[in-house]
Amino acid sequence: MIIDLPRFVSAERTYWDELHAVLAKLEAEPERRLPIEEIERLHYLYERCSSDLSRLDTFATEPRLRAFLESLVSRAYSVIHETRAPARIRWKSAVLAFPRAFRRHLAAFRLAAGVTLLGCAFGWFALHVDPRNKAILMPFPGLQAPPAERVAHEEGAKNDRLKGIKASFAAQLMTHNTQVTIMALALGVTFGAGTLILLFYNGVILGAVATDYIVAGQGVFLAGWLLPHGSIEIPAILLGGQAGFILAGALIGWGDRTPRVARLRAVAADLVAIVSGAAVLLVWAGAVEAFVSQYHQPVIPYSLKIAFGLCELAALSFFLGWVGRE
């Protein structure tokens, strides 16, 4: 079919301009609810432009006009065929989305916790077999000294060693741990292998540190030092691992016959809710680590620090396990 293009354009342009104006309005306000007459009109304009595009297909000698119509049809298609609700940032629903997403994917969290515990067991075993492995397993200068020596030094300290750097120390902890958590999620794209290695490595360090202090008889110091921030920080990193395993599960799709794109689409909002929640937890954990965890008896009694850490853990468990249940 050969069409008279100028006549075609002049006849249809009014409809194209009208559709363009409606779409521009909807794109500017995605939450806007249209009355039924406007929806019907939008659908009519979409079908009319689609039909114009089809007519042009048979006489596709004007690429710019075709590109223009394709742009209009694709924009209208994204508005008309989208079934997901437009993103509404409501604080209440954003807060509730986090524990709900956590509970929907509990198996992935258990896997993250299991891998970390396995790493802890490996850390314990490696240090138990040969204590000289400490230098390899814990390559941090602050942890190289014998635990008893560190405890005596820090308990007997007369000056505040973090004076004047507490806020910047907290900021570094927050950003570093958030980066680790995002990395645990992002490495899920390696079909979970990267997430698994990251969590196992974290577990090895944790297990080795715990073994070192417990064997040296410094279990109370260890609990007082780690629990105030660790009761939030460690679960937050596990949540990052959970997100990584969810992503890996959607990529692999064991026993799931839905297409990969649909599987990934189904978990995207949950991944974002979990990682955002974990990031907020890490801001708290960073502040606690800099302002509370580094101060020991007699400045802050161990019993108080341990009780504080246990309360945080109980509150977090309650929040993740019960808040927002339907």
Residue 96, token pair as written in the block: 């509730």
Give me the least distance between CB of 313 and other proteins, in Å please.
26
**53 vs 204, which CB is nearer to other proteins?**
53
Instruction: Give min distance, CB of 146 to other proteins, in A.
Output: 31
Nearest distance, CB of residue 293 and other proteins, angstroms? 17
Residue 24 CB, nearest distance to other proteins (Å)?
Answer: 9
Cα 233 to chain centroid distance, Å, stands at 14
Q: What does the alpha-carbon distance between residue 151 and residue 162 come to, in Å, rounded to a whole number?
A: 16
The secondary structure of 206-224 as a DSSP string is: HHHHHHHHHHTT-HHHHHH
Cα atoms in the Cβ-side hemisphere of radius 13 Å centred on 206: 24
**Residue 51 or 317: which CB sits closer to other proteins?**
51
* Cα-based distances in Å from 278 to 173, 198, 239: 14, 16, 6
Measured from the CB atom, the residue of 85 and 129 that comes closer to other proteins is: 85
Buried b (16+ CB within 10 A) or exposed e, 204-237: bbbbbbbbbbeebebeebbbbbbbbbbbbbbbbb
* Pick 103 or 263: Cβ nearer other proteins: 263
CB of residue 125 to other proteins, shortest distance in Å = 30
* Longest CA span, the chain: 93
Nearest approach, Cβ of residue 323 and other proteins (Å): 21
67 or 145, CB closer to other proteins? 67
Is residue 204 within 8 A of residue 123, CB to CB? The reply is: yes
Residue type, 175: T
Closer CB to other proteins, 268 or 323, in the complex: 268
